[in-house]
Structure 1
Amino acid sequence: MSESLDPVIHAAARLRITAKLATLDADEQIAFPRLQQLLEMTAGNLSTHLQRLEEAEYVTIEKTHQGRTPVTYLALTPRGRRAFEDYTATLRGLIAGAS
């Protein structure tokens, strides 16, 4: 386990996004507007942080249509799920070491 926290996840907004996506089953996705609502973030702010997570290959962003309506679905990748697990393990270790 590394002693440093993953800087991609460590930003507060990206930590919130990753934590929320980690609550989904590995084969589940969530629609962008639902995630935006749950996190109470603006669309622009959420999009910016999702782009960074996508660049790190921590999330997948699937753009599709339901009828004529565009829909964006989000999910953690296996790499993203592992990064979140490593992050939380490192954080627990740092907290335990501070006790």
Structure 2
Amino acid sequence: MADGFSEVIHVPTRLRVCSILAEVGEAEFGVLRDALGLSDSVLSKHLKVLDQAGFVGVRKGAVNGRTRTWLSLTRAGQAAFKAHVLELRKLASTADDLTP
């Protein structure tokens, strides 16, 4: 694949996670889970992959005595997401030349 394409980000759920985080900057785990319609365990698995790649930052804190987790794209994550989207745009532009 081309330089900007990321196998880590390309998985649809992770692509959606990156898209949401790029838009909002930071999101609480539960809000992200609900926005994506995922279970805690499924979202956690995808976030772990993004975290291991250095694309997602995790911040924990207490709210009303309960531990909360907030997520955001790291600088590396922002760069990788931007490069991936640019590569997808290049790939998608070839469809413009197709005749219906």
TM-score, normalized by the shorter chain, greater than 0.5: yes
Q: Structure 1 stretches of 5 or more lacking a match?
A: none
2:29–2:68 contact (8 Å) kept in structure 1: yes
Aligned-partner SS, 1:80: helix
The structure with the largest alpha-carbon Rg is: 2
Q: Aligned-pair distance for 1:96?
A: 1.5
State the SS of the aligned residue for 1:61. Answer: strand
Structure 2 counterpart of 1:52, one-letter code: V
- Among 56, 59, 79, the alignment partner of 1:59 is 56
Q: What is the TM-score with the length of structure 1 in the denominator?
A: 0.88
Number of residue pairs the alignment of both structures matches: 95
2:16 alignment counterpart: 16
Identity among equivalent positions (%) equals 32
Q: Structure 2 CA distance, aligned partners of 1:19 and 1:69?
A: 27
Runs of 4+ in 1 over 2 A off after TM superposition: 2-5
Q: Is the 8 A contact 1:59 1:80 kept in 2?
A: yes
Q: RMSD over aligned Cα, in angstroms?
A: 1.4
- Displacement after TM superposition at 1:63 (Å): 1.6
| TM-score when normalising by structure 2 | 0.87
